[in-house]
Amino acid sequence: MATPRIPATLIPGDGIGPEIVDATLAALDALGAPFEWDRQIAGLEGVKSAGDPLPAATLDSIRRTRLALKGPLETPSGGGYRSSNVRLREAFQLYANLRPAQTLIPGGRYDNIDLVIVRENLEGLYIGHEHYIPIDDDPHAVAMATGVNTRKGGRRLLEFAFEHAIATGRRKVTIVHKANIMKALTGIFLETAQELHERKYKGRIEMDSVIIDACAMKLVLNPWQFDVLVTTNLFGDILSDLAAGLVGGLGMAPGANIGADAAIFEAVHGSAPDIAGKGIANPTALLLAAAMMLDHCRLNDAASRLRRAIGDTLNVDGIRTGDLGGSANTGAFTKALVSRIANS
């Protein structure tokens, strides 16, 4: 019996985006993944072709499929353009940003890292409520920003984090906050986590908490003490990049933005226009994002095969791109990966 097709939006993106997307599609085809792609544009390509970094056709496609895989997008400078990534999160209420960090290449400064950071994606200090107050002849004499966290938004994110942790066999959830100083803005997040855990998750999974600055230090000194870190928008943005640094950088860091209306999977690194078209880009982050997408669609066997093939290509075959100390170009890495998948 044929596997039902799964409609999904594909956004190749800018810079190296099309190259790493092609590599990822080759791997997914080798797996027999049943995605039915609707190819759309965004970012700089959207501005060039449709006059908008997030064209209406792209939004309509995601509304229809509720599932997307995207390469890195470049936000055009000037012209009042807002980040396409932020607009996507807002348009589809993608409240949970899931950022795993797992060691793929052993023997580095940190080894056997296996962390997940769950970041609230829509609230906090990133809502963009900012303004200047002019004094005398200085129009920017005072800068002010307002952060907003809601109990409803915090609870929604925290429930997702607890459920994800339990479903994936994790042992502990750590709430990261700054409630000792930002008593209202992050205190409401900590308080909501404590109430929710007591009422619904106590006995099912362990929970503790840590102040953000101490957490950053502990991640450097002993990252193995953490399992799932759950935090607000700004702190999650910083910690997820810190965690990526523990496993080799953003080239090894996939991301998922998950909400009530859609799920979008991505490589979190930039579009790297300086190496675009040279065929040397590392597609690992987007490949790992595709594995997360397979898990989201309950195609867990295919996700496991893909992750295992990536690990074997890197470590057994020793085929790595230049950023990982190897000499393989994107095409050679992809060919070796597809061969691994075919034989798995």
Question: What local confidence, expressed as pLDDT, does residue 85 receive?
Answer: 85
For residue 233 the two structure tokens come to: 């928008």
Concerning whether 301 is annotated as a catalytic residue, the answer is no
**Residue among 29, 60, 111, 213 flagged as catalytic:** 213
Question: What local confidence, expressed as pLDDT, does residue 134 receive?
Answer: 95
**Residue among 14, 178, 201, 295 flagged as catalytic:** 178
**Residue among 14, 38, 95, 126 flagged as catalytic:** 126
Question: What local confidence, expressed as pLDDT, does residue 80 receive?
Answer: 63
Concerning whether 178 is annotated as a catalytic residue, the answer is yes
For residue 211 the two structure tokens come to: 């102040």
Question: What local confidence, expressed as pLDDT, does residue 239 receive?
Answer: 97
Return the DSSP state at 322: G
Concerning whether 137 is annotated as a catalytic residue, the answer is no
| pLDDT of the chain, 344 residues: tens digit per residue | 567 899 999 999 999 999 999 999 999 999 999 999 999 999 988 888 888 889 999 999 999 999 999 999 987 766 666 778 888 999 999 999 999 999 999 988 899 999 999 999 999 988 878 899 999 999 999 999 999 999 999 999 999 999 999 999 999 999 999 999 999 999 999 999 999 999 999 999 999 999 999 999 999 999 999 999 999 999 999 999 999 999 999 999 999 999 988 999 999 999 999 999 999 999 999 999 999 999 999 999 999 999 999 999 999 999 999 999 999 999 999 999 999 999 88
Question: What local confidence, expressed as pLDDT, does residue 128 receive?
Answer: 76
Q: 189: Cβ–Cβ under 8 A, 6 or more apart, which residues?
A: 120, 149, 154, 158, 175, 177, 179, 231, 232
Question: What local confidence, expressed as pLDDT, does residue 221 receive?
Answer: 97
Question: What local confidence, expressed as pLDDT, does residue 184 receive?
Answer: 94
CA distances from 150 to 107, 128, 184, 187, 267 (A): 42, 15, 10, 11, 29
Question: What local confidence, expressed as pLDDT, does residue 1 receive?
Answer: 54
Question: What local confidence, expressed as pLDDT, does residue 130 receive?
Answer: 86
**Residue among 14, 38, 237, 295 flagged as catalytic:** 237
Q: Supply the pTM of this predicted model.
A: 0.94
Concerning whether 138 is annotated as a catalytic residue, the answer is no
